[in-house]
Chains A and B, each alone.
Chain A
Amino acid sequence: MNSITNAAIQTVKNFSPKYLMRNPVMFITECAFVLSIVIAVEPSWFGAPSGSGFTLFYVAVVANLFLTLLFSNVSVAISESKSKAISDSLRQLKKEVKAKLLVDGQVNEVTSSELRKGDLILIEQGDVIPTDGEIVEGTGYVNESNVTGESRPSRKIFGDSVTGSTVLVTDSLKVQVTSDPGESFLDKMIAIVESSKRSRTPNEIALTVFLSGITLIFLIVVSALFGATYYSGISPNLMILIVLLIALIPTTIGGLLPAIGVASINKISQYNVIAKSGKAIENAGDIDTIILDKTGTVTMGEREAAKFYPNKGVDYIEFVKQCVMSSMDDLTKEGMSVVKLGKKEGVEVSREEMKNYEFVPFSAETKSSGIKSSSDEIFKGALRAMEKRFDLSDIYIEGLCKEISLRGGTALVVVRNNEFTGVIELNDMLKPGMRQRLERLKKMNIKTIMCTGDDETTAAFIAQESGIDEFVANSTPMDKYNVVVREKEQQRMVAMVGDGTNDAPALSRADVGLAMNNGTQAAKDAANMVDLDNDPTKLIDVIFLGKQVLITRGSLTAFSIANDLSKYFVIVPAMFTMLPQLGFLNILDLQNSIVAITAALIFNTLIILMLVPMALRGVRYKPSSIGDLLRRNISIYGIGGIILPFILIKVIYSIMIASGAVW
């Protein structure tokens, strides 16, 4: 109810000429509307004929012009009230809360608005997190449902960012504040959603210029007609000239253009993605290259142990036992899956057996993890790292690893006391539906590049399996940046997903940078879109949406211009009925000229109303090659735009005549 009232108020506000100045097509329509009222009230001032028939006609014109403006305004108002609803609900989250500021280890109670960037705060179980920050100490579960809509609390550890207004449900955290008041993520989101109606994208501006040019031509054509009719000794009815002008200028696209832009921002919010600008959405539609991470984007990212391969001369059960022992305290997904698979094979290790061992976690230097006792050590890690660390080489083991890589698996080599004892095969599953999605990208002529820390062979396998065009194996975050730069140097539009601080340079360089909400603050700042659900594959949906926005604009423009052809053949012969020789232009055979002109105007108004849903929803978009898409849209909106008005105007005319309108 509230949003309807809002929309209604906005609709009325949008009639203001100052607002409409931004949209020349609608501004001209409004001027024509005002003029038409004056003519309708006092036709004699303009030498326009009066009489009951004409009065009806004048009223019809005034009503139609009003409806044209109204439909345009309503379409914008509906979109805007939607974004207002979003920003209002966001604003409600932004309440003042108590914060526990840490000064020299002492807790000071302050309000959240007093916090500054760099402050250290304490958050305890049940506290509302007062503002954005990064965890410097502690681990805990945070309920972010009021920002993301995800009801399951997410686990936050050292280095993760937390968002203001979310709630800590377990443990306690020390957090360093990363934003000043008014600059928090929530503040930015509110500002973005609210500004979507004000700032226009470059493409929207270009289209507005284009439409203004066309409008100007028709304005001059109709004005010049005064001279021509004056010379010819005929005095055309000014009201008919107004109808001619309004019918010829692209009111359809002109009226719906603002709504399309606002609707795109709303639609992307429905995906739970916050776009920092409408431009980012348009860019998304034009993407040439997309850079994907393998783990978590292309694949499930949960690598599980699939099989054990002991080295020559090593007993199978003995090898499995080693694997299980080395993974007992390894709480990574890989580690836990090794223990699970061992259990399946009938191997269990008791705590007693592990008593003398100490767990050595994974580190960046050793690139391996394992267990160690005074007399024994078992480590597991990637082949190359292990060979280097222990200075080993074994053709059999290398063969096994190669074989596993070729299957797309990851090989984990086990070394006991400086000897290879075998290989564990880890499998990573392609995300369900990924193949189809990538296929659709290919149809749209988009190049996909996958970055992965895996070796060449694994990367190649996954790339082939999923239909990725190009891959970068053994990649570091720097490589990702280099790929972006390389593609940008070739003037391609690049999209990428990132979450870490070291992704930030690449994210800001890319045309579309989608950051994950659980990523670091730096990544979120650098990106131009943030996904609240942390689903990297959403990038593909965003691309679809971007294309849809552009197609909607282009198709409606083509449709609007194509419509003009029919109007020439309806209005021109009807306005020159005093020159019966021009009857040959009246190819629709509309005998009553005033009714014919009214029918053309009614068509012009109705078509806007009919297309409002399309403007808000976007035209149907099926990923296909550019040629097919062009063929399809030209036939529907171009050729359809030429034929449809001929039919509809004739139908409207017939209905009017049948219902006894003889003006």
Chain B
Amino acid sequence: MSTGNGSFWGNFFLQNRLVSGAIIILIYIAIMSVMAFLLSGYIKKLYLGESNLLDPVSGRIVAFFEKLFGENKDKTMKFREYFLNLLLFNAAAGVMTFLVLYFQNFLPFSAGYSHFTPSLTFNTVTSFLTNTNLQHYSNPLQLTYFSQTFVITGLMFVGAGTGFAASMAFIRGILNDKGFLGNFYHDFLVSIFYLLLPLSLGLTVILLVFGVPETTSSAMVLHVLGGHGTVTIPLGPVATLEGIKNIGTNGGGFYGANAGFPFENPNWFTNLSEFVGYTLIPLASIFSLGRVFNNKGFSNMLYGVVMTVFIFTTFMTFFGEYTGIPALSTLGTLYTGNMLGKETAIGIAQSSIFSTGAVFTSTGAGNSILLAFTPVGILGVMGNLLLNDPIGGVGVGIMNLFMFVIFTTFITSLMVGKLPELMSLKLSSREIKYSTLSLVTHPLLVLIPFGVTMLLPGLIAGFPGTRPDAITSVLYEFGTAAANNGSEIGGFLTNQAYFNYIDGIIMLLGRFLLIGFQLVIADSFSLKSPKVEFGRSINPNSFLYGLMLFTVMILLGVLSFFPILALGPFLSWAHDFSLWIGVVIH
């Protein structure tokens, strides 16, 4: 059954783009799940400190550094010491990179570059230190290659490594009952050399094969046909940065347009690879929980819940973008959905899942411009953001998820007349207190600066007139900082001292306050020994429990923003479906 120009199925998928888009999304989800599942066994070995295939290489490097710094895994720390070392190490990295960035014009490879303003430096350093990677600068135009490599790429490792180390401590807290969380430096080195470096090398190789540049040569200058001046395309160490950017759920990117720029994301395969790259560790960590606690049902339940959130929001975004702008559709032209701000080689389906995926994790990478998304499309993306990125960043994702789990366990246990208990450990008021603090921190960090900023319209003067989109964008701006995500809608000048400092503070609090709270919980857990026998309390593997967890996440996480969403995306959705078509200002 073939027609004149091509096969039947070829035409079918071309003409039924809703179906083909949905199939593409499902393929992405299937591949990401399979890849994560395959990695989970390895991550479990890292969590439990078991020997694995990288021991001969990574083991030696870790041992070398441990010798150098006089630390090793036997120097195990309790909560206070562990968290203090984590903070000190990050502070040191922060100060060092601050100096490099601020004085970048005096350092190598700096021809033609000037230094950053203090506020922008602060913002950039906190942004990359906290695994947020919000960019208030336009990358290759303002950053030297040295800064790109040392500050950006370096901090990408520090941020992700710290996150994974924290999760190792968290899991150790649950598993042991002597009060020890492990050695931070050991955990950090293991995260880097066993996990982040090998995986990002792998991704870098894939990207190199498909033509992503990796060079120290200067920009490419093209003369435009017709002779009206030149176009400068910066080159640089793009592939290495891309590797860790995705694997470490960092986001940001070498180019201002991120993965929307062909040199960062040349084709559908690199798009898929990068997507799998940034969902890999967070999702694999969830699967690995089942192996670590020898309770596959638990990780399956978590996977089911977060995937429900993900599938729902992705399709929301996809349908929003696919439906496009009614005003344009009625013009009667051949209309293909909302292609504004999207790369034609990638298309609507792959842009939608890439954007929601980047917020489902704390990556925040983008291959399309969120500012040009439809309100429904943005709602899908923003739903994830308000949940503090459901599966979060490397390591911290499972800790955030655990906060919701503790909440849910508390309520459901009471509902069946039991005192709450998780992983056979009794939940006392200390754990409830700190999980409440963790879950309250995120909305507070978003809403307080949001409320204040909206009273100062001069700061967001980029929007012509009063528009609901501005509310969406500002809410998103602080949401992305608090969730350590890094994606942005923009639409107003973000590189202002006000936003640079406030975002920086939010990012720091959103990162280290939460890790602190969560490690306190780990500390509590680490002093308790588990009850022998499972299943006498609430069963977290059941469908009902999953349903409750989902409901708690939606009701308390997303819907608490309802009154504000009404004035933002809901209003622009209902209003005229119009988009703000403008220039991205940097």
> CA separation between A621 and B415, bound complex, in Å?
11
**In the complex, which residues 541-600 of chain A have their Cβ closer than 8 Å to any Cβ of chain B?**
546-548, 550-551, 553-555, 557-558, 561-562, 564-565, 568, 572-573, 575-576, 579, 581-585
Residue interface bits B542-568, CB-to-A below 8 A is 1, else 0: 101101100110011001111110111
Instruction: Tell me, rounded to whole Å, the shortest Cβ–Cβ distance linking B479 to chain A.
Output: 12
Query: Chain B: which residue is nearest A568 at the CB level?
Result: B562
B536 within 8 A of A: yes
> CA separation between A232 and B533, bound complex, in Å?
57
A227 within 8 A of B: yes
What residues on A are CB-neighbors of B548 within 8 Å? 634, 638
Choose the segment among A154-162, A213-221, A418-426, A472-480 that binds chain B (4+ C-beta atoms closer than 8 Å). A213-221
**Cβ B538 vs Cβ A228 within 8 A:** no
Residue interface bits B464-504, CB-to-A below 8 A is 1, else 0: 00101011000000000000000000000000000000000
Instruction: Tell me, rounded to whole Å, the shortest Cβ–Cβ distance linking B436 to chain A.
Output: 4
What residues on B are CB-neighbors of A572 within 8 Å? 562-563, 566
A322 within 8 A of B: no
Instruction: Tell me, rounded to whole Å, the shortest Cβ–Cβ distance linking B140 to chain A.
Output: 34
**Cβ B536 vs Cβ A220 within 8 A:** no
B429 within 8 A of A: yes
**Cβ A232 vs Cβ B407 within 8 A:** no
Instruction: Tell me, rounded to whole Å, the shortest Cβ–Cβ distance linking B210 to chain A.
Output: 44
**Cβ A220 vs Cβ B448 within 8 A:** yes
A225 within 8 A of B: yes
Query: Chain B: which residue is nearest A637 at the CB level?
Result: B415
**Cβ A221 vs Cβ B560 within 8 A:** yes
B418 within 8 A of A: yes
**Cβ B417 vs Cβ A224 within 8 A:** no
Query: Which one, B419, B470, B536, contacts A285 given CB within 8 A?
Result: B419
> CA separation between A457 and B440, bound complex, in Å?
59
Query: Chain A: which residue is nearest B434 at the CB level?
Result: A209
Query: Which one, B531, B539, B561, B568, contacts A288 given CB within 8 A?
Result: B531
Choose the segment among B18-26, B200-208, B570-578 that binds chain A (4+ C-beta atoms closer than 8 Å). B570-578
**Cβ B451 vs Cβ A223 within 8 A:** yes
**Cβ B544 vs Cβ A288 within 8 A:** no
Residue interface bits A425-462, CB-to-B below 8 A is 1, else 0: 00000000000000000000100000000000000000
**Cβ A492 vs Cβ B436 within 8 A:** no
Given A231-B455, A630-B544, A638-B548, A210 and B574 contact (CB-CB distance below 8 Å)? no
B432 within 8 A of A: yes
Query: Which one, A222, A227, A568, A581, contacts B452 given CB within 8 A?
Result: A227
**Cβ B424 vs Cβ A213 within 8 A:** no
Given A285-B419, A579-B571, A630 and B538 contact (CB-CB distance below 8 Å)? yes
Query: Which of B411, B417, B451, B570: most chain A CB closer than 10 A?
Result: B417
> CA separation between A630 and B408, bound complex, in Å?
12
**Cβ B574 vs Cβ A244 within 8 A:** no
What residues on A are CB-neighbors of B433 within 8 Å? 206, 209
Given A203-B419, A550-B418, A227 and B451 contact (CB-CB distance below 8 Å)? yes
Given A288-B536, A627-B539, A568 and B444 contact (CB-CB distance below 8 Å)? no
**Please, how many residues of chain B have a CB less than 8 angstroms from a CB on the other chain?**
70
B354 within 8 A of A: no
Instruction: Tell me, rounded to whole Å, the shortest Cβ–Cβ distance linking A593 to chain B.
Output: 14
What residues on A are CB-neighbors of B428 within 8 Å? 202, 206
B326 within 8 A of A: no
> CA separation between A568 and B565, bound complex, in Å?
11
Query: Chain B: which residue is nearest A569 at the CB level?
Result: B562
**Cβ A491 vs Cβ B411 within 8 A:** no
> CA separation between A547 and B47, bound complex, in Å?
37
**Cβ B440 vs Cβ A581 within 8 A:** no
Query: Which one, B447, B466, B555, B560, contacts A562 given CB within 8 A?
Result: B555
Query: Chain A: which residue is nearest B417 at the CB level?
Result: A547
> CA separation between A214 and B536, bound complex, in Å?
29
**In the complex, which residues 255-288 of chain B have their Cβ closer than 8 Å to any Cβ of chain A?**
none
Query: Which one, A492, A553, A583, contacts B531 given CB within 8 A?
Result: A492
What residues on A are CB-neighbors of B414 within 8 Å? 203, 207, 550-551, 553-555, 557
Query: Which one, A550, A555, A576, contacts B566 given CB within 8 A?
Result: A576
Given A206-B410, A564-B555, A621-B417, A224 and B564 contact (CB-CB distance below 8 Å)? yes
**Please, how many residues of chain A have a CB less than 8 angstroms from a CB on the other chain?**
74
> CA separation between A637 and B414, bound complex, in Å?
12
**Cβ A568 vs Cβ B563 within 8 A:** yes
What residues on B are CB-neighbors of A203 within 8 Å? 414, 419, 429
**Cβ B410 vs Cβ A582 within 8 A:** no
**Cβ B575 vs Cβ A564 within 8 A:** no
Query: Chain A: which residue is nearest B537 at the CB level?
Result: A626
Residue interface bits A628-639, CB-to-B below 8 A is 1, else 0: 011101100110
Residue interface bits B443-459, CB-to-A below 8 A is 1, else 0: 11001101111110100
Q: A-side binding surface: helix, strand, loop or mixed? A: helix
> CA separation between A553 and B417, bound complex, in Å?
9
> CA separation between A214 and B466, bound complex, in Å?
31
Query: Chain A: which residue is nearest B444 at the CB level?
Result: A220
What residues on B are CB-neighbors of A213 within 8 Å? 436-437, 439-440
B426 within 8 A of A: yes
Query: Which of A213, A223, A547, A551: most chain B CB closer than 10 A?
Result: A213
What residues on B are CB-neighbors of A557 within 8 Å? 411, 414
A282 within 8 A of B: yes
Instruction: Tell me, rounded to whole Å, the shortest Cβ–Cβ distance linking B108 to chain A.
Output: 46
Q: B-side binding surface: helix, strand, loop or mixed? A: helix
Query: Which one, A230, A491, A493, A637, contacts B530 given CB within 8 A?
Result: A491
> CA separation between A576 and B471, bound complex, in Å?
15
A233 within 8 A of B: yes
What residues on A are CB-neighbors of B443 within 8 Å? 217, 220-221
**Cβ A490 vs Cβ B533 within 8 A:** yes
**Cβ B455 vs Cβ A227 within 8 A:** yes
Query: Chain B: which residue is nearest A203 at the CB level?
Result: B419
**Cβ A225 vs Cβ B563 within 8 A:** yes
Residue interface bits A184-225, CB-to-B below 8 A is 1, else 0: 000000000000000000110111011011101110111111
> CA separation between A490 and B575, bound complex, in Å?
61
**Cβ A633 vs Cβ B563 within 8 A:** no
**Cβ A558 vs Cβ B418 within 8 A:** no
What residues on A are CB-neighbors of B437 within 8 Å? 213
Instruction: Tell me, rounded to whole Å, the shortest Cβ–Cβ distance linking B559 to chain A.
Output: 6
Query: Chain A: which residue is nearest B429 at the CB level?
Result: A206
> CA separation between A573 and B562, bound complex, in Å?
11
Residue interface bits B524-544, CB-to-A below 8 A is 1, else 0: 000011111101111100101
> CA separation between A561 and B415, bound complex, in Å?
13
B416 within 8 A of A: yes
What residues on A are CB-neighbors of B110 within 8 Å? none
What residues on B are CB-neighbors of A491 within 8 Å? 424, 426, 528-532
**Cβ B411 vs Cβ A558 within 8 A:** yes
A286 within 8 A of B: yes
What residues on A are CB-neighbors of B533 within 8 Å? 490, 492
A146 within 8 A of B: no
Give B residues with C-beta under 8 Å from A: 407, 410-419, 424, 426-429, 432-433, 436-437, 439-440, 443-444, 447-448, 450-455, 457, 466, 468, 470-471, 528-533, 535-539, 542, 544-545, 547-548, 551-552, 555-556, 559-564, 566-568, 570-571, 574-575
Known: A565-B559, A627-B542. 12 other contacts (CB 8 A): A220-B448, A221-B561, A222-B563, A227-B453, A229-B567, A491-B529, A493-B419, A551-B416, A572-B563, A582-B566, A621-B417, A634-B544
Give A residues with C-beta under 8 Å from B: 202-203, 205-207, 209-210, 212-214, 216-218, 220-233, 244, 248, 282-283, 285-286, 288, 445, 490-493, 546-548, 550-551, 553-555, 557-558, 561-562, 564-565, 568, 572-573, 575-576, 579, 581-585, 621, 626-627, 629-631, 633-634, 637-638
Q: Can you identify 29 A-B contacts, CB atoms within 8 angstroms?
A: A206-B433, A207-B432, A210-B407, A212-B436, A217-B443, A217-B560, A218-B560, A220-B444, A222-B563, A223-B447, A225-B567, A228-B451, A228-B564, A282-B419, A490-B532, A554-B413, A558-B415, A572-B563, A581-B574, A583-B574, A584-B574, A626-B537, A626-B539, A629-B416, A630-B412, A630-B538, A630-B542, A630-B545, A638-B551
